[in-house]
Structure 1
Amino acid sequence: MAEEIIVAGWMDYEPGDRATMLEALVELGRRTREEEPGCLDYAMTADPGDEGRIRVYEHWTSQQALDEHFATPHIKDFRTAVAGLARVGVSLTSHTVAASRPMR
């Protein structure tokens, strides 16, 4: 069985661009979760303490599923929709999960 992948971090946008980016991310997230069986979770949320920051959390069944995500039609649609928005910072890290257990 392939090891799961978690992508986590943040993206910063000009404060005036964050709302537009979040709107596009809502549609991207919906389509990703509905259309990609390798997606276990996909959430991009506004950071309440920073008017330009978007927090990123993705959970994938495998690296292959994540790689295939970038070739989907909805990623192409998303990139077209957000072309021209000013991203001013980014810190994203991909983690390979070796083991998981429920927390109580």
Structure 2
Amino acid sequence: MAEEIIVAGWMDYEPGDRGTMLEALVELGRRTREEETGCLDYAMTADPTDERRIRVYEHWTSRQALDEHFTTPHIKDFRAAVAGLSRVGVSLTAHTVTTSRPLR
């Protein structure tokens, strides 16, 4: 297995901004999964117990695929669409995965 990358963590937004951010993330996620062959999974979801928090999970075929993601037109469109929103906290970590096994 080649080294894959998993990005995991959370982002916090002002409660009034989280819904707008989630709407923008739906389109970003759709385009990322459809248009980027290096994307294995891409999910941003509302935390059901915290009105500010969005949980982040991304799975990439390589560091290069993740790096290229940040240069795509849909990332530029997304950043422009959410530029006025107030992020109040973030904790994201990129993990390099060298082995995996299915859980049963």
Q: Give the TM-score normalised by structure 2.
A: 0.98
Q: Which runs of 5+ in 1 are unaligned?
A: none
CA RMSD of superposed structures (Å): 0.7
What does 1:1-104 correspond to in 2, within 5 Å? 2-104=2-104
Q: CA deviation at 1:98?
A: 1.1
Helix, strand or coil for the counterpart of 2:84? coil
SS of structure 1 residue aligned to 2:25: helix
Retained in 1: the 8 A contact 2:6–2:59?
yes
SS in 2 for 1:50: coil
Distance 1:48 1:20 in 2: 16
Total equivalences in the alignment: 104
- Aligned amino acid, residue 40 of structure 1: L
**2:41 and 2:58 in contact (8 A); partners too:** yes
CA distance in 1, matches of 2:45, 2:20: 12
Aligned-residue offset at 1:31: 0.1
The alpha carbon displacement at 1:2 in A equals 3.4
Inter-partner Cα distance in structure 1 for 2:2 and 2:37:
14
The CA distance in 2 between the partners of 1:2 and 1:103, in whole Å, is 20
Structure 2 unaligned segments of length 5 or more: list them.
none
Runs of 4+ in 1 over 2 A off after TM superposition: none
Letter in 2 for 1:82: V
